[in-house]
Amino acid sequence: MPENTNHKLTIRKRGHALLSDPILNKGLAFSAEERAAFGLTGLLPEAVQTLDQQVTAATAFLEALPTPLAKHIRLRELQDSNETLFYAVLEHDLKASLPLVYTPTVGEACQKFSEIWERPRGLFLSYPDRDRIAERLADPALDDVRVIVVTDGERILGLGDQGAGGMGIPIGKLSLYTACAGIAPEHTLPIMLDCGTNNEDRRNNPNYLGWRHERVRGADYDAFIDAFVSAVKARWPDVLLQWEDFAGVNAAPILEKYRDALCTFNDDIQGTAAVAAGAILAANDARGSRLRDQTIVMVGAGSAGVGIARLLLQVMRDEGASEDEARAQFFMTDKDGLLTDDRKDLDAGQTLFARARAALEGWPDGAIGLQDTIERAQATILIGVSGQGGLFTEQAIRAVAKTCDRPIIFPLSNPTSHAEATPEQIMDWTDGRALVSTGSPFPPLKRDGSEKRVDQTNNAYIFPGMGLGILACGATRVTETMFMAAARGLATLSPLKADKDGNLLPPIEDLRKVARAVAEATVRQARIDKVCPVFEDHQIGEKIDAMMWTPAYRPYRAA
């Protein structure tokens, strides 16, 4: 059952120590009795407020701040002083707060992390300290950690290497685990693996907080990652470990090496793929067609692009297509053009989707650009994960629009400035026929006198619910089929099912409901995959409910 907020907690901390603990601090919500019992009288102003009153005051102050970054900083101050209030503020208006604690504002926060940092949160594990990782993880305050988000800061959104500033990403992601799925904040731990940075602006910044060194590469880097994973496994054998914003050259190999060693996944590869697949499944259902009959042009051949393609390929196979038939529906491009089998610079994932040059009869010799690819392939689905703003030109969009009544066009790169096209452009160039979802938030579209929300394929639709399901059922591994189940679970919630003119995805304010549905789909698949203990169907909801924390103050009594 959900947490009983009426039961008194026995607290040993007193005075300033209690007020300095963000998990236990209530600020002005400490009652007169509690203030007397815990030595707080005189440390706090006379007024006693409820949580609702605190939320009202905090929200009013937040709304008056001039910029998203200023609001992000204020929210982080709340998080570091009073986590219950922080999450109550987020829950009060998730639609408004999500872009502040995560994309797009978190990108600017990572760039300016060294200037805005105030209080410790999480762990910074630096390469020079690599022989003491286990010691750093041994703090008794971390005994109840159940989910970790870790980055090395090398590929932060579309902004590149931010070094130690990349810590903003794990902090933001874990905030969404709590706000969207109810994972209690004391169960979460953000970690930054500081391997140096190749961003000279960061290294030369006198305020830079990280290790001032070029990035560690090769065998030394691999050994550092291995030492980290070994220490995590020894400290928390059942933890869920999420890899976040690693460069493509490292992301896929790390996932492949450790996916069967502990309960782990890479959100950029698998989470992005699942939310994109869920949105595309919803869009394809609206068109009344099978995915195996669609032609997909994937713009961007990094870990995210390959991850999305792999999951969509599996959807086609589930629809009855053979491996070769499904792969024939994909055309993947990067900065050098269409991936073909005569290129020598492709990794294993890219090679899977490379086209046979001999089969491209009548196509241009040499590099084949995006426009030629779209036109000759007769694309019906166009997905961008290139990180290049404006890459989808009017000519390219119109070419896709010629192939079908309702083209699916997803510019998924973020932050907003890196989107391949804006929703307004896409709708203008397709005469309002396209099914669109973006990677970053955009304002509503105004067409024909009406206003419509722009869908955002935000990973928050997937990873919080998956994490909730994994922890609820005690899964020991994260399987690819669990991501497929999560994608299908998300697709079932599409507003398009009830309204042909509706959105592809539920509104952001429904993310808690989405997380619960995704959690249930994840648990059911984990049982099928036999990666969790055996239990009865009726226990699924009970297990999920038991994991879900809500921001509410509990009464305290002194130890």
Long-range pairs for 448-451: beta carbons < 8 A, 24 or more residues apart? none
Among this protein's residues, is 26 annotated catalytic? no
- Contact status, residue 229 vs residue 258, Cβ threshold 8 Å: yes
260 is in an annotated binding site: no
Mutual angle of helices 168-181 and 463-473, in 10-degree steps: 70
Q: How far apart are CA 555 and CA 11, in angstroms?
A: 10
268 is in an annotated binding site: yes
536 Ramachandran zone, left/alpha/beta (phi>0; psi -120 to 50) = beta
Residue in 26, 71, 112, 173 annotated catalytic: 173
What are the residues whose beta carbons fall under 8 Å from the beta carbon of 204, sequence distance 6 or more? none
458 is in an annotated binding site: yes
- Contact status, residue 164 vs residue 208, Cβ threshold 8 Å: yes
173 Ramachandran zone, left/alpha/beta (phi>0; psi -120 to 50) = alpha
- CA 248 → CA 48, 297, 326, distances in Å? 51, 20, 24
- Contact status, residue 525 vs residue 485, Cβ threshold 8 Å: yes
Among this protein's residues, is 102 annotated catalytic? yes
Q: What is the largest CA-CA distance in the chain?
A: 84
3-state secondary structure of 477: coil
245 is in an annotated binding site: yes
Residue in 87, 102, 221, 461 annotated catalytic: 102
25 is in an annotated binding site: no
- CA 41 → CA 30, 34, 35, 38, 136, distances in Å? 10, 9, 5, 8, 36
Q: Which two tokens stand for residue 147?
A: 């989910």
DSSP code at position 443? P
3-state secondary structure of 192: strand
- CA 486 → CA 266, 490, 514, 516, distances in Å? 15, 6, 10, 11
Q: Which two tokens stand for residue 435?
A: 């099914």
Please give the single-letter amino acid code of residue 171. I
Cβ count near 6 (within 10 Å): 8
Could you give the residue ranges of the DSSP H alpha helices within 218-262?
218-235, 248-258
- Give me the active site residues, please: 102, 173
Residue set of the binding site for a divalent metal cation: 244-245, 268
Binding residues for (S)-malate are: 155, 414, 458
Q: Could you tell me which residues are annotated as the binding site?
A: 155, 244-245, 268, 414, 458
